[in-house]
């Protein structure tokens, strides 16, 4: 008897993971403004664990992970 791929029998078992964006928030000296520098991406897995891939390391050691902007061409700094 041939083995059947369980993912073919249950297509929802291969549900897409949720994609997130990773930023570091840099405070600008002398102002109350901050600069959000995108430094990577993250994915929420089916078991709710998170994989993070960084393209840079934050000097301040702080990461901020959030859902991507709904507007793909949004050049504005996201609000915290």
Distance, CA of 52 to CA of 47 (rounded, Å):
15
3-state secondary structure of 7: helix
Query: What's the pLDDT at 1?
Result: 46
| pLDDT value of position 72 | 46
CA–CA separation, 60 and 38 (whole Å):
14
Residue spans of the domains in the chain: they are 10-66
Nearest by Cα to 36 from 46, 47, 24 = 24
pLDDT in tens, the chain (80 residues): 455 544 445 545 555 578 999 999 998 888 888 889 999 999 998 888 999 999 999 999 999 999 988 644 445 555 55
* pLDDT of res. 29: 87
Residue 51: what pLDDT? 94
**pTM score above 0.85:** no
């Amino acid at each position: 008897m041939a083995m059947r791929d369980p993912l073919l029998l249950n297509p929802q078992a291969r549900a897409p993971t949720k994609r997130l964006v990773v930023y570091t928030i840099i405070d600008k000296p002398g102002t109350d403004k901050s600069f959000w520098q995108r430094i990577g991406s993250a994915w929420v897995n089916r078991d709710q664990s998170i994989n993070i891939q960084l393209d840079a390391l934050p000097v301040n050691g702080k990461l901020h992970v959030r859902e991507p902007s709904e507007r793909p061409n949004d050049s504005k700094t996201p609000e915290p």
